[in-house]
Amino acid sequence: MTALNKQALRVPERKRHDWSQAVMRDCDFCDQWSLTVKHENSGCICAICCDAEYTSELKCALESAIDRAEAAEKRIAELEARTVSIPEVRITVAESKRKNLTWRELGAYNEGADVAKEAILAVIRAAGIGVKGE
């Protein structure tokens, strides 16, 4: 996971207020008479509005994380739906005659090609990639 992704997954930090300095007055956000402290926007804020402000930030972070998770699931599904085809690499009798191969050389070549193809297919299947023609 990249540093950018880790940063995006962090929970928003709750703002700390010095409630020992709280005074009774109307909250500038909800107009309720309650204990308030200075807000960073040069107003006064009550505890209920502080909580609402933080839960709003948490909700935005959660929605963002859900969107990223859904996008990742979609991308994984797209990758899993992809298929590949492995070309045929065996040599025909006609090709072996043009290349002046003996029957033994032709057999050895084709046997090696089959073994290599099966090894490649095994790795591809193990990775969860579909193979065309199966």
CB 50 within 8 A of CB 17: yes
With a cut of 70, say whether residue 112 has pLDDT above it.
yes
With a cut of 90, say whether residue 115 has pLDDT above it.
yes
Alpha-carbon distance of 3 to 60, in angstroms, equals 20
Q: Is the dihedral of CA 130, 123, 84, 1 positive or negative?
A: positive
With a cut of 80, say whether residue 54 has pLDDT above it.
yes
Q: What is the pLDDT of residue 21?
A: 87
Q: Distance from first CA to last CA of the chain, Å, rounded?
A: 34
pLDDT top residue among 81 and 121: 121
With a cut of 60, say whether residue 18 has pLDDT above it.
yes
With a cut of 90, say whether residue 74 has pLDDT above it.
yes
Determine the average pLDDT of the residues in 34-62: 89
Q: What is the pLDDT of residue 6?
A: 58
Q: What is the pLDDT of residue 134?
A: 59
CA separation (Å) from 111 to 44, 45, 68, 118, 134? 82, 79, 47, 11, 21
Alpha-carbon distance of 35 to 48, in angstroms, equals 10
What is the average pLDDT value for the chain, to the nearest integer? Answer: 86
CA 5 to chain centre: 9
What are the φ/ψ torsions at residue 65 (nearest 5 degrees)? -65, -40
Please give the structure tokens belonging to residue 118. Answer: 């099966």
Determine the average pLDDT of the residues in 78-105: 87
Q: What is the pLDDT of residue 107?
A: 92
